[in-house]
Structure formats: structure tokens, C-alpha cells
Chain A
Amino acid sequence: MVLKIFFPQCCNKADSGLLVGRWIPGQNSAVVLAVIHYPFIPGQVKQYIHQMRGQSGVDLTVLGSWSMPKEGQEGMESFLRDLSTIFPQGQWLQLSREMGKIGFRCEGEKGGEKDKVIFIHYEQRKVMLSQLHPIENGVPDPQTESQLPQVFGTVCQSEPLFFLDKYDDSPVKLTHWQSEGREGSIIVELMKQASTPVCLLTTWILTLSSVCLPRILNVRPMRFISSKLSTCVQLSYRTEHLQTVSSPTRATTHNHFMRKANIFVSFFVDVSLGLLLVSWMYRENRIGKLANTLVPAADHIAKELEELLQWLMGAPAGLKMNRALDQVLGRFFLYHIHLWISYIHLMSPFVEMILWYVGLSACLGLTFALSLLSDITALLTFHIYCFYVYGARLYCMTVYGLSSLWRLFRGKKWNVLRQRVDSCSYDLDQLFIGTLLFTILLFLLPTTALYYLVFTLLRLVVVMFQGVVHLSVDFINSFPLFSMGLRLFRSYRLAEGVKFRVLCEEPGTPLHLMMDINPLKVSRVVQTYRTPTYSCYPKDSWLALCKKLFLGELIYPWRYKTTKID
């Protein structure tokens, strides 16, 4: 097999010294992590490497020697060859670079066969910070892990090796990506210091509220109402999020860290958008104007419904209705609307105040404002929901009766025990009454069907609107903003794989490749880092929905999933 040496770009111009790194078992590859310079004492080097091995958990060894000859440093070659006796190794690499030439040379123990070596240059900082996302079809087996994840893992875990820079006073002098000075950011440090007390405070507030609130909410009617109102659902969901984010323990795995960061950023954006909305709405007393248009809007809807019912009671679209049934149903629904209008007018003095205070809860986030909108719509169109239920039940009973009497008409019966249709011999009077009822129901069917159709369409319009609002709430909740920002601005941190480029070489030198990071595709970023939500999605397929509509069963098209717990 060809020998592959992963060489960091920062060490291209390093002075002569020893190579420190790791051999990857079974792959005939070596990852060079740093170069230790002269002068050094072999005993101290061994001690340092042993210490680093313990701290990082990576199997670090001295791989070989690196020579970059400068003026006045002749005679290094023999010195470097003698070093292999001090550090006992299975395979000793002797990498060298000549002035004026770009390519390296390598002499292994087995004799310098330059055709059997590949140098793969990598940028150490990017490889250390990036996270590989391989397309796995199952659980990866650590024993048979392939080469690239092992390389990435080695560089990532060797972080303690990169703590010493050239300004530290230590017995060993290293060259690696941080040797010019340790990288740090004052903002990140300040945020780390500030985060602990803030997390503790938030956790304390949350535990307090979680102690008080269940006492209120566990009363039966409150629990029912709070499960129906989407604002309460959203509130509980956000509390859960806050609990995840404000836990004082640091995130251990990469996925956990990304989850926390995504929740934090989306929460922050949500709250700022909500505050923006509140400041816009309360500025010129727009909320008062909104409240003042709410009652006339409800009135207008009721008036439109009355006109619709008058139309149905006449000859709608030229169809001839059954007069008596038409009048009964029409008057029944008209009385309902009259009741509804009375209730709205009773409430109208308080509407503005209620809306003013409730609108303040939009400070908690844009998602709360949208959930409030959905809830207000549901409350204002409650009569449409009631009409739909009445119409659907009536139609359902008609269809059910018709199907049963049709079976009687043909001399069959539904066997409940066997769940099938059996033949049955009826008496003459049973047949007579059955046929009469069948005829009555059949001729009344168009009237009930028309009422059912009209109210179902209205209900579907309201449901579609609520669905759109819920989908947008869900989108704001689950979209991974932090991961997307990372992918756009620091694309090397989320890696799908690597890509290689052949570096221009000179004749007589082995092959040199440059390993770049291939960033993750945007669609995979969203798919991997989506925060799981109580996403609402259609419960039935289109066919099942149509079947339910035809039979008159009540439809609740959006189903809420309970929050997934990983």
C-alpha cells in the first residue's frame, strides 16, 4: 500500500526537528501534528509526549525527522539519522525539503521509493474546527472506521498539544497552527463568563414557575382549554426550549451544542421580532384601532352568513329545495347567528382592554403573536365551526340511514358480528316502512347535502388559514438559524467530506495533494439540524380526506405531534 502522510500547511516552513503525530492503524498513513525544534533533550521530549498522550487520549508518537536546511546548519543529515535509534519506532520517516524546491522528499526505512509516498497537505485550524457529516447507513463501527474520520478525529482531539505557543517558556519548542500565538476572542470569553450566572438565574425562574403553574393548570377545564389554545402550547414549548438552553452544564457532543445554539439564536430572533411588532402596533394606538374594527368585522361576517342562509332558503343556484326542511334548518341557523351577535355586542366594551393586555404578550416573541392570531380567529369563527358540526352530523346521519335502508331495499343486512353484508328475509311491513323511509331520506338528501357543502367549505377556509399560521410558527420554531449562519460564513465548520487538488510538482518528487474541506449542502444542514417541534401536518392523505368528507365524518385536518425527546 502507498504511504500517505498528512502534513499541516503551517509546518511547511518550519525549522528542522522531530515530527510528532499519530500512525493510523491499518491504513499505512501518518498524521503529522507538530514539529519539535532543536535544541531539545530527548528525555524531556519523551516526557512531554507521554503527558500529551494522557491529556488528549490520542496515541501520539514521534513519527520521524524533518529537515529544512538553512545556511550554517550542515551535518544535520547524519544527526537526523541517528535520532531514529533514540526514539524506537516501527517505521521512521525522514522528510526533507530543499531550498529553492517546492516538493518534499521522504526516505522511509524500507529505502527511498519516492513513487510510493503521497503527501497530503491540510490546513490544521480548519480541520480541527470542522465536524464531519458522513452519509451513514447505520451505526459506524469504531474499529473499521475509515481513514478520513480518523484523521479529523486525531486533529480534533489533539487540542492540548496546540496550547504551547512560541512565547511560552517550556523545554520543548513546537510549531503548529497556534504557535504564532494562541487564538482567542474577547467577546467569546466575556460571554462565557456571563453565561453561567444568567443560566443559573433562568433555571431558578423556570423551576419556580414550573412549581406554581401545574397547580393552576391541573384543574380539568383549564387543562382542556390550554390543550386547545395554540398559545398555551407554544408557551409550554418555549419553556422547554429555555430549559434546554439554560442548563448550566456545557454541551458535550457537537449535536447537543448545535441544538443549544440554534434554540438560543432562534429564541433571540423571535423575541426581537416580537418586540419590533409590539412597538409598531402600540405606537399610534394601532391596537385600539384594531380592537375597534374587530366587533364591526364580526358583525359583518354574521351579516354575510345571514344573507347566505336567506339565499339557501330560497332557490340557491336554481336548485329546488324541500321547502319545509329548508325553512326549519334556515331558521335554526339564523337563530344561532342572532345569539352569537348578542354575545359579541355584550363583549364589545371589554374588547379593547382585553386586546391591549393580550397584545403585550407578543413581547415574548413573534411566534406568540401568530399563535394569538390563530386563537382569535378560532374564537371569532366559532359559530362557523358549530354550523359545520351540525351540518356534518345531519348529513352523516342521512347518509348512514340511506346506506342501511338501501341494503334493506335489496334484501340484505349488515352483520355486525361478522362485519359483512348478509342476505336477510324481511317481513312485508318492515319492507314497506323501510322503503318509505328510504324514499323520504333520498328526496331530502339534496337539501342536507347543500347545507353540509356550504358549511364545510366555510370551515375549510378557516382551517386553511389557521394551518398557514401554524406552519409559519412551526417554521420559525424549527429553522436552524445558527447552523445556517455557520454554513454561510464559516463553511469549513460543517463538512460533508473533503476534496483533493493536485499541487504542481517537480519531477522526481512524490505526489503532493491539497486537502480542502467540502462544505455541507444547505439542504442537508436544514435536515440535520432542524429542531424537532410539535409540527402540525395533515393527518390524512388527500384520498382519506375526500372519503371522510363524502361520508360526513368530522374532519380535524391538522394533528399536533407531541414534542420529540431525543
Chain B
Amino acid sequence: MQNGDQHYSMEDETYTDIDGKAISLECQSHSGFCREFTVSSAKVSIGRVMVYTCAVWLSAYIVFFITENTAVLSSAIIITLVGMMVHIHFVKVDHETLLIIGSLGVQVSSSYASGRESTDFIEMDKIKDIVINEAIHMQTVIYYLCILLKDPSDPEAVSSVVPLFQGKRLIK
């Protein structure tokens, strides 16, 4: 308990996403009508980074050995660096947050490994409903939470927003 909020994380139940990686869920209740849910995935593992980098540089060195062209080495370095920067800035999601404020709206925010945050706020007037929808992904059916938005020409839902990566939930 801190500062009058209720803050608890689901430590005894482990979840995995649809790719099988471990994720964790944290709920924080700021007030009677304000709740925040955070889903965090595993951080970038240093072992995998080192394995990839070594593999790329080893193959570049072999190619250099064959062709005697130094441009191969410098291009391998540049590709590795650029690839890593792009991965942590655009691809690797660190945690996603859903902030629900009663009678104001819902805020969905994803935070990437480089610290970049991309936020989207949806006003209460535009929300029709929050539902659990199902979709066919490869060979399985996955369930995901989504927000239905109102169409300006009422009252059909026009676009679905997919907030969080809650794929399969395994309770171990």
C-alpha cells in the first residue's frame, strides 16, 4: 500500500503472450474511478544481442577473407548498429499501460525499449464499449481486449482499438 493507492502485481500467476515469452501484469488503483494496468514484457537480453552481433561479424569476416574488400566489414558494423537502434526504438516494446479515468476517457500508451512513448487518449464520448474479441492467428484462435469506437453516424462501431498484447493467458 503506498499513498492511499492500491497497488498489486500478479506475482503468483505467470502469463505468456502468443509467442510464448513471459509477461507480467500490474494493476494500480489511484482512486475510486481511476485505474492503471501495466503489461510489461521481458527486457532485451544481453546474451541474445551478443550472439547475433557475433554471428553477423563472423560471417562478415569470412566474406572479407574471401573477397579482401574492407567495405564488407564497415558495412557489417553499420548494419549491426542501425539494426539495433531501429529494433530498440521501433520494435521492442518494454511495457504497455492502460489508464482508465472515469467519465474522462481511456489512455493507451506503449513504451519502447529506447524510452520512446507513444500515447493515445480516447474520450469517453467516443467509446461505445470495451469487449473481448476473438481472432484467428495462424492456426489458433486468440482473444484480445479491444475498445469499440462510435461512428459519427450513430450508433455502429467504426474502428476497433487493440490496446494490449494479452494473447493466451497461461496460469502456471
- Chain A residues close to B by CB (< 8 Å): 1-2, 4, 28, 115, 118, 120, 136-138, 146-148, 497-500, 502, 504-508, 510-511, 513, 518
Query: Quick check: B158 and A146 within 8 Å, CB to CB?
Result: no
By a CB distance below 8 angstroms, the chain A residues around B36 are: 502
Stretch in B14-22, B44-52, B115-123, B128-136 touching the partner? B115-123
Instruction: Report the bound CA distance from A136 to B159 in whole Å.
Output: 12
Question: 8 Å CB contacts to A: which residues of B128-172?
Answer: 151-153, 158
Q: How far is the CB of A523 from chain B (nearest CB, A)?
A: 13
B31 proximal to A (CB < 8 A): yes
- Chain B residues close to A by CB (< 8 Å): 3-4, 30-34, 36, 99, 101-104, 107, 109, 119-121, 123, 125-126, 151-153, 158
Query: Quick check: B31 and A511 within 8 Å, CB to CB?
Result: yes
Query: Quick check: B121 and A497 within 8 Å, CB to CB?
Result: yes
Tell me which of B33, B99, B109, B121 contacts A502 (CB under 8 A).
B99
Query: Quick check: A146 and B119 within 8 Å, CB to CB?
Result: no
By a CB distance below 8 angstroms, the chain B residues around A136 are: 152
Query: Quick check: A500 and B33 within 8 Å, CB to CB?
Result: no
Query: Quick check: A505 and B3 within 8 Å, CB to CB?
Result: yes
By a CB distance below 8 angstroms, the chain B residues around A504 are: 3
Instruction: Report the bound CA distance from A352 to B153 in whole Å.
Output: 66
Instruction: Report the bound CA distance from A147 to B158 in whole Å.
Output: 20
Query: Quick check: B123 and A2 within 8 Å, CB to CB?
Result: no
Query: Quick check: B34 and A506 within 8 Å, CB to CB?
Result: no
Query: Quick check: B121 and A4 within 8 Å, CB to CB?
Result: no
Known: A2-B102, A118-B101, A500-B101. A511 touches B30 (CB 8 A): yes
Instruction: Report the bound CA distance from A350 to B9 in whole Å.
Output: 84
Q: Which residue of A lies closest to B2 (CB)?
A: A504
Known: A2-B102, A499-B119, A502-B99. A147 touches B4 (CB 8 A): no
By a CB distance below 8 angstroms, the chain B residues around A510 are: 31
Query: Quick check: A508 and B123 within 8 Å, CB to CB?
Result: no
Q: How far is the CB of B118 from chain A (nearest CB, A)?
A: 9
12 A-B pairs besides A115-B32, A138-B152 with CB distance below 8 A are A4-B103, A146-B123, A147-B123, A147-B125, A148-B123, A497-B121, A499-B107, A499-B119, A500-B107, A502-B34, A502-B99, A505-B30
Q: How far is the CB of A195 from chain B (nearest CB, A)?
A: 38
Known: A115-B32, A146-B126, A513-B101. A500 touches B4 (CB 8 A): no
By a CB distance below 8 angstroms, the chain B residues around A138 are: 152-153
By a CB distance below 8 angstroms, the chain A residues around B153 are: 138
By a CB distance below 8 angstroms, the chain A residues around B104 are: 2, 4, 118, 120, 147, 500
Can you give 17 A-B contacts (C-beta < 8 A)? Answer: A1-B103, A2-B102, A118-B34, A118-B101, A118-B104, A137-B151, A137-B152, A138-B153, A146-B123, A498-B121, A499-B107, A499-B121, A500-B104, A502-B34, A505-B3, A508-B4, A513-B101
By a CB distance below 8 angstroms, the chain B residues around A137 are: 151-152, 158
Tell me which of A2, A146, A498, A513 contacts B103 (CB under 8 A).
A2
Q: Which residue of B lies closest to A507 (CB)?
A: B4
Q: Which residue of A lies closest to B158 (CB)?
A: A137
Q: How far is the CB of A492 from chain B (nearest CB, A)?
A: 14
Query: Quick check: B3 and A506 within 8 Å, CB to CB?
Result: yes
Q: Which residue of A lies closest to B99 (CB)?
A: A500
Q: How far is the CB of B41 from chain A (nearest CB, A)?
A: 21
Q: Which residue of A lies closest to B1 (CB)?
A: A507
Query: Quick check: B125 and A146 within 8 Å, CB to CB?
Result: yes
By a CB distance below 8 angstroms, the chain B residues around A118 are: 34, 101, 104
Q: How far is the CB of A110 from chain B (nearest CB, A)?
A: 16
Q: How far is the CB of A510 from chain B (nearest CB, A)?
A: 8
Query: Quick check: B34 and A511 within 8 Å, CB to CB?
Result: yes
Instruction: Report the bound CA distance from A504 to B2 in whole Å.
Output: 10
Query: Quick check: A507 and B99 within 8 Å, CB to CB?
Result: no
By a CB distance below 8 angstroms, the chain B residues around A2 are: 33, 102-104
Q: Which residue of A lies closest to B31 (CB)?
A: A511
Instruction: Report the bound CA distance from A506 to B120 in whole Å.
Output: 27
By a CB distance below 8 angstroms, the chain A residues around B121 are: 497-500, 518
By a CB distance below 8 angstroms, the chain A residues around B34 are: 118, 502, 511
Q: How far is the CB of A408 from chain B (nearest CB, A)?
A: 56
Q: Which residue of B lies closest to A141 (CB)?
A: B152
Tell me which of A1, A4, A505 contacts B4 (CB under 8 A).
A505
Q: How far is the CB of B69 from chain A (nearest CB, A)?
A: 30
Instruction: Report the bound CA distance from A499 to B120 in whole Å.
Output: 7
Instruction: Report the bound CA distance from A510 to B126 in whole Å.
Output: 25
Can you list the 5 inter-chain pairs with the closest CB atoms, starting with the nearest?
Answer: A507-B4, A499-B119, A511-B31, A2-B103, A138-B152
By a CB distance below 8 angstroms, the chain A residues around B107 are: 499-500
Instruction: Report the bound CA distance from A136 to B30 in whole Å.
Output: 32
Query: Quick check: B4 and A502 within 8 Å, CB to CB?
Result: no
Q: How far is the CB of A138 from chain B (nearest CB, A)?
A: 5
Query: Quick check: B4 and A518 within 8 Å, CB to CB?
Result: no
By a CB distance below 8 angstroms, the chain A residues around B151 are: 137
Instruction: Report the bound CA distance from A137 to B103 in whole Å.
Output: 23
Instruction: Report the bound CA distance from A212 to B120 in whole Å.
Output: 55
Q: How far is the CB of B105 from chain A (nearest CB, A)?
A: 8
Q: How far is the CB of A148 from chain B (nearest CB, A)?
A: 6
Q: Which residue of A lies closest to B125 (CB)?
A: A146
Q: Which residue of A lies closest to B107 (CB)?
A: A500
Q: Which residue of B lies closest to A115 (CB)?
A: B32
| Residue from the set A136, A506, A508, A511 with the largest chain B CB neighbour count within 10 Å | A511
Q: How far is the CB of B35 from chain A (nearest CB, A)?
A: 10
Q: How far is the CB of B155 from chain A (nearest CB, A)?
A: 13
By a CB distance below 8 angstroms, the chain B residues around A508 are: 4
Instruction: Report the bound CA distance from A502 to B5 in whole Å.
Output: 11
By a CB distance below 8 angstroms, the chain A residues around B30 are: 502, 505, 511
Tell me which of A120, A507, A513 contacts B3 (CB under 8 A).
A507
Query: Quick check: B101 and A497 within 8 Å, CB to CB?
Result: no
By a CB distance below 8 angstroms, the chain B residues around A513 are: 101
Q: How far is the CB of B95 from chain A (nearest CB, A)?
A: 15
Q: How far is the CB of A94 from chain B (nearest CB, A)?
A: 20
Q: How far is the CB of B3 from chain A (nearest CB, A)?
A: 6
By a CB distance below 8 angstroms, the chain A residues around B31 are: 115, 510-511
Instruction: Report the bound CA distance from A506 to B4 in whole Å.
Output: 7
| Residue from the set A136, A138, A497, A507 with the largest chain B CB neighbour count within 10 Å | A497
